[in-house]
Structure 1
Amino acid sequence: MKETSSNIYNRLAPWIIPILLLAGWQLFAMNESISGNILPPPLEVVQTGISMAVSGDLWTHIYISFSRAIIGFVIGGGLGIIIGMLNGVYPFAEKHLDTTVQMLRNIPHLALIPLIILWFGVGEESKIVLVAIGVFFPVYINTYHGIRSVDKGLIEMGKVYRLSRWQLFFKIILPGALSSILVGIRYALGTMWVTLIVAETIAASSGIGYMSNNAREFMQLDIVVLAILLYAILGKVADSLAKLLESRLLKWNPVYQKN
């Protein structure tokens, strides 16, 4: 019984502070300590969300934003893993590619928005490319660092046991680097949503960012706050899925084993 209660508390604990903040927000709004013209009460935001969900507009914007985010993440993250592994495993590739990647990494990717719009227009391509650029560098850095940090003793041991190059990579190098790679993926997920918010606010005719920007022009604060909460919820869901992936792929690692 005690163990069950402990498990329930551990699951609910992360939500205690957010729930208290929402309750306080609602109380301050009811007491008119916070003007509705500055910040609408949570219940009003929820009602607006339900109304938009019933009409179907909300689901359309969520689907479009989610699609852009996932496609950009797969492209940028995939390239980050491939090039990070390439530079981490082969000194020749590192010598010729890493410096160039590091130079490009120091350019703020959001500063490329005007150039990307000129190249790809204001359609879906520009948003996907911008997200891909944003997620590429965190994944690349952590993949490269993870592979370079693998214990050299384990690699030498694998060579002693005459493992082939592929066996050495999949049985020693990749498992050793996996923790760092997954950290890069979690960090890139946050960058993904930040980039998408900016991209959809500047040049879009659909999506959560467009919904927020359009509501701002008509002073619809409830929709603006709803859009912000949607980004927060989607970000939390993405991070939770990344943590679940960590627990599944790294269950052999004592650090990720549950007590």
Structure 2
Amino acid sequence: MGISLVIGTMLGFLMGLSERTYVFLQPLNMVIRSVPIVSWLSTVILAWGIGWRGVVFIVFVSLLPVVTFNVCEGVRVVDKKLLEMARIYSVPVRRILKEIYLGSIWPFLVSSIKLSIGTMWKVAIVAEYLIGETGLGVRIMQAKFYVNTVEVFACTIVAVIFGLILEGLFSILWERDFFEVHS
């Protein structure tokens, strides 16, 4: 998720600033978002085989379009009059980036994180199930193989609990203004 946030933020920022970049990258972003996870999994198996790298890649490629799109929209909604005023008063570019652009994209980025937490967890488990060496997904796959329904349900409950804990932690941090941008 961290890799998606870093790369998606950079790409989204570029797409939001430049109409040419947007026209060039938006179709690619839409294609990546539309490719089924199973297709990515098949490609990863052919490229890297079984292992953690494939799981990380699948999570990354699943979350990247969400982050990229949200950050791009955050940049595109920046008040043009505010930018014009900053230029008129010779506000340094660094301050414009930090206080105007970052202030604009921040709610979009936080929204991306909120959306990505649940998706990340589900995608990671599916990827582990099919191409992982360890993890809950592997445990579910093994339990299925041995027709151990109780373990399948137990692992599923553990996955749900961890997903809820992650979302709960994020909500607590959000409510305590941990994610607020301070100048």
Which residue identity does 1:161 align to in structure 2? Answer: Y
State the match for 1:156 in structure 2. Answer: 84
User: C-alpha distance in 1, partners of 2:161/2:43?
Assistant: 31
User: C-alpha distance in 2, partners of 1:245/1:164?
Assistant: 32
In the alignment, is the contact (CA less than 8 A) between 2:13 and 2:72 conserved in 1?
yes
User: C-alpha distance in 1, partners of 2:28/2:144?
Assistant: 40
Counterparts of 1:48-63 in structure 2, within 5 Å, are: none
Change (3 A) 1:220 1:100: closer
Q: TM-score if structure 1 supplies the norm length?
A: 0.64
User: C-alpha distance in 2, partners of 1:240/1:198?
Assistant: 22
Counterparts of 1:9-48 in structure 2, within 5 Å, are: none
Measured after TM superposition, the shift of residue 101 of structure 1 is 2.2
Change (3 A) 1:109 1:224: closer
Structure 1 residue 76 corresponds to structure 2 residue 4: yes
Structure 1 residue 240 corresponds to structure 2 residue 168: yes
Measured after TM superposition, the shift of residue 128 of structure 1 is 1.0
State the match for 2:141 in structure 1. Answer: 213
State the match for 2:124 in structure 1. Answer: 196
Structure 1 residue 250 corresponds to structure 2 residue 180: yes
Q: TM-score if structure 2 supplies the norm length?
A: 0.87
State the match for 1:108 in structure 2. Answer: 36
Gaps of 5+ in 1: 1-72, 253-259
Measured after TM superposition, the shift of residue 251 of structure 1 is 7.6
Which residue identity does 1:158 align to in structure 2? Answer: A
In the alignment, is the contact (CA less than 8 A) between 2:41 and 2:131 conserved in 1?
no
State the match for 1:87 in structure 2. Answer: 15
Measured after TM superposition, the shift of residue 149 of structure 1 is 1.4
Change (3 A) 1:175 1:130: same
- The Cα offsets for residues 150-200 of structure 1, whole Å up to 9 and x where unpaired, read as 222322232232212221110111112110111011111221112112111
Task: Point out the more displaced range, 231-240 or 94-103.
Answer: 94-103
Change (3 A) 1:102 1:224: same
- Aligned with 1:198: secondary structure? helix
Gaps of 5+ in 2: none
Measured after TM superposition, the shift of residue 121 of structure 1 is 0.7
In the alignment, is the contact (CA less than 8 A) between 2:125 and 2:135 conserved in 1?
no
Measured after TM superposition, the shift of residue 208 of structure 1 is 0.6
- The Cα offsets for residues 193-233 of structure 1, whole Å up to 9 and x where unpaired, read as 12112111112332111111212222323321221112112
- Aligned with 1:206: secondary structure? coil
User: C-alpha distance in 2, partners of 1:224/1:237?
Assistant: 20
Change (3 A) 1:210 1:244: same
State the match for 1:227 in structure 2. Answer: 155
In the alignment, is the contact (CA less than 8 A) between 2:12 and 2:69 conserved in 1?
yes
Q: RMSD between aligned alpha carbons?
A: 2.0
User: C-alpha distance in 2, partners of 1:225/1:103?
Assistant: 34
Match of 1:145 among 59, 73, 76: 73
- Considering only CA atoms, is the larger Rg found in Structure 1 or Structure 2? 1
- Aligned with 2:178: secondary structure? helix
Change (3 A) 1:192 1:159: same
% identity of equivalent residues? 24
Change (3 A) 1:114 1:188: same
Runs of 4+ in 1 over 6 A off after TM superposition: none
Number of aligned positions between the proteins: 180
In the alignment, is the contact (CA less than 8 A) between 2:52 and 2:133 conserved in 1?
no
